[in-house]
Amino acid sequence: MKGRPMKYAHILLQLKDDKLYAASTIAQFAASNDLLPEGSTANKVRIAMGRFKQNHQFPKKGDGTVSPKGRNPIQAWFGWRWKAPIQEKQTKGRGHKDGG
């Protein structure tokens, strides 16, 4: 099964490897660093990141927790875990030629 390029890969590649992120904190990071693509919102990024972690089978128990301002702690995963599927796909894609 061929996956389509991820719309938000550029956001994930900006994450720090050793910092914890949840879908919502990635959305906040993107918004505060002006990384949202045109037509996207922080909420769309948050939803996409939630799907991303499900699709890539992140461990149910996160690598730790983060406490977004004014909220209860939520499960989070290290930046390297968020980036790994993107980097893996880029590595596999090198040298591949699409006939197009």
Residues 63-77 pLDDT 10s: 999 998 888 999 999
21: β partners: 77
In angstroms, rounded to a whole number, what is the distance separating the alpha carbons of residues 44 and 50?
A: 10
In angstroms, rounded to a whole number, what is the distance separating the alpha carbons of residues 25 and 91?
A: 27
Q: Where are the domains of the chain?
A: 9-89
Q: What percent of the chain has pLDDT over 90?
A: 73
Q: Is the predicted pLDDT of residue 54 greater than 60, yes or no?
A: yes
Read off the pLDDT band of 51 (50, 70, 90): very high
Looking at residue 94, what is its pLDDT? 57
Q: Is the predicted pLDDT of residue 98 greater than 60, yes or no?
A: no
Encoded amino acid at 45, one letter: V
